[in-house]
Amino acid sequence: MAAAAAPGALGAWQAGRVRLVAASCAPLGPRWRLPGSLTGPRLGSAIWARGRAPAAGGLPLRRGYGSEVKTDDELRVRYLEEENRGIVVLGINRAHAKNSFSKNLVKMLSKAVDALKSDKKVRTVIVRSEVPGIFCAGADLKERVKMNPSEVGPFVSKIRAVINEIANLPVPTIAALDGLALGGGLELALACDIRVAASSAKMGLVETKLAIIPGGGGTQRLPRAIGMSLAKELIFSARVLDGQEAKAVGLVSHVLEQNQEGDAAYRKALDLAREFLPQGPVAMRVAKLAINQGMEVDLVTGLAIEEACYAQTIPTKDRLEGLLAFKEKRSPRYKGE
């Protein structure tokens, strides 16, 4: 009886894996195709090029690269020009409150991200501070103390949502930590694909000092970044690390001595973003999706996700352009198609 049941159990497991791969590839669009034995309608390359539609109430269309979209003085959005075209910089600018998350800043970040995820010309996003010595000090506690208890939960949910939106951007994201990143500030950085820091930067999830816990994804993303045991130690102790200590535990990828201008981490982030620009735009988006989704499942399912994602690059014009450029010994001219 047990032997007879085994094939059915295996079939159910395989069906479950197909459903999981399908869910993982959902961001590819409604016409994605699983390769091999995992079949379905094919994703057209235009789906990736179009991206998702902007949310209602999102930012108006930008005026062009190099223009600064002034959502508010608390957030500056810059589309870089010339050799940096495709790089977008989100600059937090709440000097009077150490760049802490206010209701207005959260709203502005959400609108900015809505605009970015539907803009196919965006290739990399850098999150930085416009305030020397500060990245983001977390929630605005002066604003928080005025809230009724019934308001706190919904507001934290909004912070968590905007941080998740940044994590779900389809293009590479880099956090440039040139100063203090505490609580929600570090959670914002953890949502980015890559973190770079000045050696003088300070960072930590310090919420337990206030008898609460990280509420913007910190309890989930920190263990995934540095391991469960060390993440527990840092959260339990509310310990603050400098840039060198953060690099030693794997919290940041690069650490640099701070310069006179106070923007060493930002300059390194810009260098990394420039390295990403020549690569195929569709490939970059699909690679990020494959890595992100694959890390949340077992290896067998992860490899199926990779196979499904790889299949989406095959019919693209960019892939053919890459082969032609290799043959002609020139730099490729990718269009994200």
- Amino acid in the structure at residue 265: A
How many domains does the chain divide into? Answer: 2
Is 245 one of the catalytic residues?
Answer: no
319: left (phi over 0), alpha (psi -120 to 50) or beta: alpha
pLDDT at 158: 92
Domain that holds residue 285: 281-328
Q: Report yes or no on 96 lying in a domain.
A: yes
Considering the domain architecture, whether residues 108 and 256 belong to the same structural domain is answered as yes
Considering the domain architecture, whether residues 93 and 107 belong to the same structural domain is answered as yes
Is 336 one of the catalytic residues?
Answer: no
Given 74, 130, 165, 207, the catalytic residue: 207
Considering the domain architecture, whether residues 109 and 125 belong to the same structural domain is answered as yes
pLDDT at 86: 94
Is 306 one of the catalytic residues?
Answer: no
pLDDT at 37: 39
Is 261 one of the catalytic residues?
Answer: no
- CA gap 330, 320 in Å, rounded: 14
Given 184, 204, 216, 336, the catalytic residue: 184
- The domain that holds 311 is classified in CATH as 1.10.12.10
pLDDT at 42: 33
- CA gap 188, 100 in Å, rounded: 11
Angle at the Cα of 165 from the Cα atoms of 161 and 168, rounded to 5 degrees: 135
- CA gap 60, 159 in Å, rounded: 22
pLDDT at 17: 57
- CA gap 1, 219 in Å, rounded: 44
Q: Report yes or no on 214 lying in a domain.
A: yes
Given 115, 137, 139, 283, the catalytic residue: 139
Considering the domain architecture, whether residues 141 and 267 belong to the same structural domain is answered as yes
- Burial status of residue 253 (CB atoms within 10 A of its CB: 0-12, 13-18, 19 or more): middle
Residues 6+ apart with CB under 8 A from 140: 97, 100, 101, 102
Given 74, 165, 187, 245, the catalytic residue: 187
| Distances, alpha carbon 264 to alpha carbons 117, 198, 259, 271, 274, in Å | 27, 6, 6, 11, 16
CB 178 within 8 A of CB 264: yes
- Identify the DSSP state of 101: B
Low-confidence ranges of the chain (pLDDT < 70): 1-72
CB 77 within 8 A of CB 58: no
pLDDT at 73: 84
pLDDT at 145: 80
Q: Report yes or no on 143 lying in a domain.
A: yes
